[in-house]
Chain A
Amino acid sequence: MDKMVIKESRYISKKAKILRSVRMTSNEMLFEITLEGGESLDHEPGQFVMASIYGVGEVPVSICSSPTARNSFDLCVRAVGKVTHALHKLEPGDMIGIRGPYGKGFPIRILEGNDLLIVAGGLGVAPLRSLINYVLDNRRDFGKVHILLGCKSPKDMLFINELDSWNERMDVHYECTVDRAEPDWAGNVGVITTLIPGVDLEPERTFAVVVGPPVMYKFVIKELLGKNIPERQILVSFERHMKCGMGKCGRCQIQSVYCCQDGPVFNYEQIKHMSEAF
């Protein structure tokens, strides 16, 4: 068997350096990362990268910063498996590999000029943060912006400082709820669907963008349809364990579509008949 170095491979990662790491909860850390030579990642909100620790492995992670921040990007990582646990042990200055960005993100051009109802459940706020910060940086290009956020308990909340700043802005309607409160919690208690009826929206000009655990989609989408938001104006983003990111390895396949190439963002009309989606 002969072996040669090839230039064309799509599997080679770019070298990237961790600039900053912040522990957000007992389980999640935020990493600020820059590509070698200051090269821009040039992503769309909602896309993902394959992050690689040499010798350990590679994992798909959604990019949680807006492309308006051009010199670096953020990844929010929950420690679940071998690679993500190893990532949590890395420190500023450590090198990792980055492939991507991959996939179809949130359709910014289509969203522009419309009202947005952003519904984030749990870790779903991570990919949505790329959209939210993009929208806030280009605020006049969008209509009304509603952000509804839900998580299990106050101590599970991610991006706490930013949530406060979203809450304080006069050009954003922000609400959040927790499934289970703690004694010092003064906010809403209940699942995220309880926030939807109170939102004053014009369904024809509203795009709902929903990201959260699979169980959440069913109930949230039902509420949104009840609000008369058209099916193709309900956008979702799916979690799958991509291995290649290029529509080949089969891991992320949902019936006839590949989440890594055709998604991870889909509109509800595209995927409503796919039982493997939820």
Chain B
Amino acid sequence: MKDVQYLVLRKDNLSSFIAHLSKDQKVMAPVSKGYGNYAFEEVTSAEQVALKYIPTILPPKKFFMPQRETLIEYNLQSGLEVNAVLEHEKMTLFGVHTCDLAGIQCLNMVFSERPKDYNYLLRKRGISIIGLECNEYCDEYASCNIVNSNMPNGGYDLFFTDLGDCFVVHVNTQVGDEMVERTKMFEKPSRTHFDAFMALREAKSKIFKNEIPIEPRDIPELFDRSFDSEVWKELEQKCLSCGNCTNVCPTCYCFDLLDEMNLDLNSGRKFRKWDSCQLEPFAKVAGGENFRKSRAARQRHRYYRKFEYPVAKYSRFFCTGCGRCSRACMADIKLKDTLNALIKERMNKLWIKWL
């Protein structure tokens, strides 16, 4: 095993690094879209990349699980020919924050659980990931500390930490090492680099604190006792059931499966597209019943799918603290407010019990 875990890339080399990578595959990176919005888009040089950015409008899940994806193609002539297909593209994601790395890890767990989803798993093989550390909070919506996603926890090939005039780079995988070898722009770190790196991590531990007054381990219990909470009824008064929160969520993966014929009416396809548990007909059945008829029940379902159900199944939260749901909500429903309200309600109940 080679003993090269950490390397250094000078910032003035970043442009040629990205140019080099983009020679044989697409490089997707955060790009400024104006008005404080960012999006992962194809780049060919470092000038296009927003190194300091708040979470993009859509998370990188759009590359792993496209908004619309053909699964099956068929031709009704020639005795019904049916093929399963995979739409894929080799690419490198550059500048993925730790919250989004956590989101990709969540999706990996879901789609590799049996029965496996090979469309996801085969596409994932062609995507390399370069992470980028957040040195401070992106904005007031983030809650990454409470879900432990403000520090790197794997899920990347290379991980960049910005030290001003250079990046300290953690080489995590063989794929990452090959990028280093191929581009030949990385240097060995000096003592000064390590000191600066350690100082940054030290400073971060002072900046990032639990955003909500609760210990992470107590969150599942809070949800155990909050199913009939008044908080969901309060959300019902605000929620417009637009589905923005689930579309922008890095760990929401619900989908619809649909058929579509070509104009020749002989050939067609089955495709999946993103769906949302927040939309009114989502839990409706043929008999006419809707098992999550109220907006309160649908909002509750969204929160339970982040903080309760996956904890039992996958031993982790499916909230990455990225804050996208709060930023995208037209009705000003904020994740931190909701959790705070649940905690407050619970404390009040406890006090009443004591008194």
* Contact, CB under 8 Å: B304 / A55: no
Least CB distance from A53 to B in Å reads 8
Q: Does A276 contact B (CB under 8 A)?
A: yes
* Contact, CB under 8 Å: A247 / B113: yes
Which chain A residues lie closer than 8 Å to B301 at the CB level?
A: 253, 276
Q: Does B291 contact A (CB under 8 A)?
A: yes
Which chain B residues lie closer than 8 Å to A80 at the CB level?
A: 286
Per-residue CB contact flags for chain A residues 1-26 toward chain B (1 = under 8 Å, else 0) read: 11111111111110100000000000
Q: Does A213 contact B (CB under 8 A)?
A: yes
- Which of A137-145, A158-166, A238-246 is the interface stretch? A238-246
* Contact, CB under 8 Å: A84 / B286: yes
Least CB distance from B308 to A in Å reads 7
Interface residues of B, CB < 8 Å — how many? 54
Q: Does A152 contact B (CB under 8 A)?
A: no
Of the candidates B89, B110, B282, B292, the one whose C-beta lies within 8 Å of that of A2 is B89
Q: Which of B80, B255, B257, B301 has the most CB of A within 10 A?
A: B257
A57→B246 CA distance, assembly (Å): 24
Which chain B residues lie closer than 8 Å to A247 at the CB level?
A: 113, 115
Which chain B residues lie closer than 8 Å to A6 at the CB level?
A: 84-86, 118-119, 122
Q: Does B83 contact A (CB under 8 A)?
A: yes
Which chain B residues lie closer than 8 Å to A58 at the CB level?
A: 257, 259, 270
A19→B257 CA distance, assembly (Å): 27
Least CB distance from A156 to B in Å reads 14
Given that A3-B86, A249-B255 are contacting pairs, would A256 and B117 also be in contact in the complex, using a CB cutoff of 8 Å? no
* Contact, CB under 8 Å: A55 / B89: no
Return the chain B residue nearest A79 by Cβ. B286
Least CB distance from A140 to B in Å reads 36
* Contact, CB under 8 Å: B76 / A54: yes
Of the candidates A3, A11, A81, A240, the one whose C-beta lies within 8 Å of that of B72 is A11
Of the candidates A11, A239, A251, the one whose C-beta lies within 8 Å of that of B270 is A11
Q: Does A270 contact B (CB under 8 A)?
A: no
Which chain A residues lie closer than 8 Å to B287 at the CB level?
A: 123, 213-214, 239
Given that A11-B71, A54-B74, A248-B111 are contacting pairs, would A255 and B304 also be in contact in the complex, using a CB cutoff of 8 Å? yes
Return the chain B residue nearest A61 by Cβ. B286
Return the chain B residue nearest A56 by Cβ. B259
Per-residue CB contact flags for chain B residues 59-80 toward chain A (1 = under 8 Å, else 0) read: 0000000000011101010001
Return the chain B residue nearest A245 by Cβ. B115
Given that A9-B72, A240-B291, A248-B110 are contacting pairs, would A57 and B259 also be in contact in the complex, using a CB cutoff of 8 Å? yes
Which chain B residues lie closer than 8 Å to A243 at the CB level?
A: 255-257, 275
Which chain A residues lie closer than 8 Å to B272 at the CB level?
A: 249
* Contact, CB under 8 Å: B286 / A10: no
Instruction: List A residues at the B interface (Cβ < 8 Å).
Output: 1-13, 15, 52-58, 78, 80-81, 84, 95, 97, 123, 213-214, 239-241, 243-244, 246-251, 253-256, 275-277
Which 6 pairs of residues, A with B, have the shortest CB-CB distance? A9-B84, A250-B254, A8-B118, A80-B286, A55-B261, A246-B115
Instruction: List B residues at the A interface (Cβ < 8 Å).
Output: 70-72, 74, 76, 80, 82-89, 110-111, 113, 115-119, 122, 227, 253-259, 261, 265, 268, 270, 272, 275, 277, 282-287, 289, 291-292, 297, 301, 304, 308-309, 312-313
